């Protein structure tokens, strides 16, 4: 009988809080995925969200070898290659020989690709800012500190 009670659900106050936190994190991740899907459609409606991830990475980190991009976005090379080919066909990305190694290629966004990704990122930022628009600086600072702690990152020294 005591084994059944252990599987019925949380019994301590901390277990209840941990479960509530888990539910909120799941809600956050679901909302984040939905926002990414919408943002990807803003980038280009005929591309899957994974193509947006590739373009976003190139926007953030600059031109790179195809193998590096695949590794960075955690996709296998064949999927990255297919998406990259589609991005190139649409004029959003370009491929050029790697100057350090003529056998490899370097991927980069075209000016059209940069404009599209910046528009999509701007939309995503607008939606994010709407959610926190009425938050105080103290609330924002505390929320960021909790997230950094949860993510195992050091707290920055914020000088006001």
User: CA 62, CA 157: separation in Å to the nearest integer?
Assistant: 28
| C-alpha dist (Å) from residue 60 to 1, 55, 63, 135, 142 | 56, 9, 9, 27, 26
Predicted local distance difference test score (pLDDT) of residue 5: 47
29-72 pLDDT per residue, tens: 999 899 989 999 999 999 999 999 999 999 999 999 988 999 99
Predicted local distance difference test score (pLDDT) of residue 101: 81
Please say if the pLDDT value at position 4 is more than 50. no
105-115 pLDDT per residue, tens: 899 999 999 99
User: Half-sphere exposure of 25 toward its Cβ, with a 13 Å CA cutoff?
Assistant: 10
60-73 pLDDT per residue, tens: 999 999 889 999 99
123-153 pLDDT per residue, tens: 999 999 999 999 999 999 999 999 999 988 8
């Amino acid at each position: 009988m005591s084994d059944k009670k252990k599987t019925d659900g949380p019994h301590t106050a901390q277990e209840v809080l941990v479960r509530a936190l888990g539910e909120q994190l799941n809600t956050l991740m679901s909302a984040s995925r939905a926002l990414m899907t919408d943002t990807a459609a803003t980038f280009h409606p005929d591309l899957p969200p994974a193509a947006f991830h590739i373009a976003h990475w190139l926007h953030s980190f600059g031109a790179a070898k195809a193998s590096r991009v695949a590794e960075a976005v955690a996709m296998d090379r064949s999927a990255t290659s297919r998406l990259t080919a589609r991005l190139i066909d649409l004029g959003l990305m370009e491929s050029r020989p790697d100057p350090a190694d003529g056998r490899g290629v370097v991927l980069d966004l075209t000016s059209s690709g940069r404009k599209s990704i910046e528009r999509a990122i701007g939309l995503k930022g607008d939606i994010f800012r709407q959610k926190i628009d009425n938050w105080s600086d103290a609330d924002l600072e505390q929320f960021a500190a909790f997230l950094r702690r949860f993510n195992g990152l050091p707290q920055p020294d914020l000088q006001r």
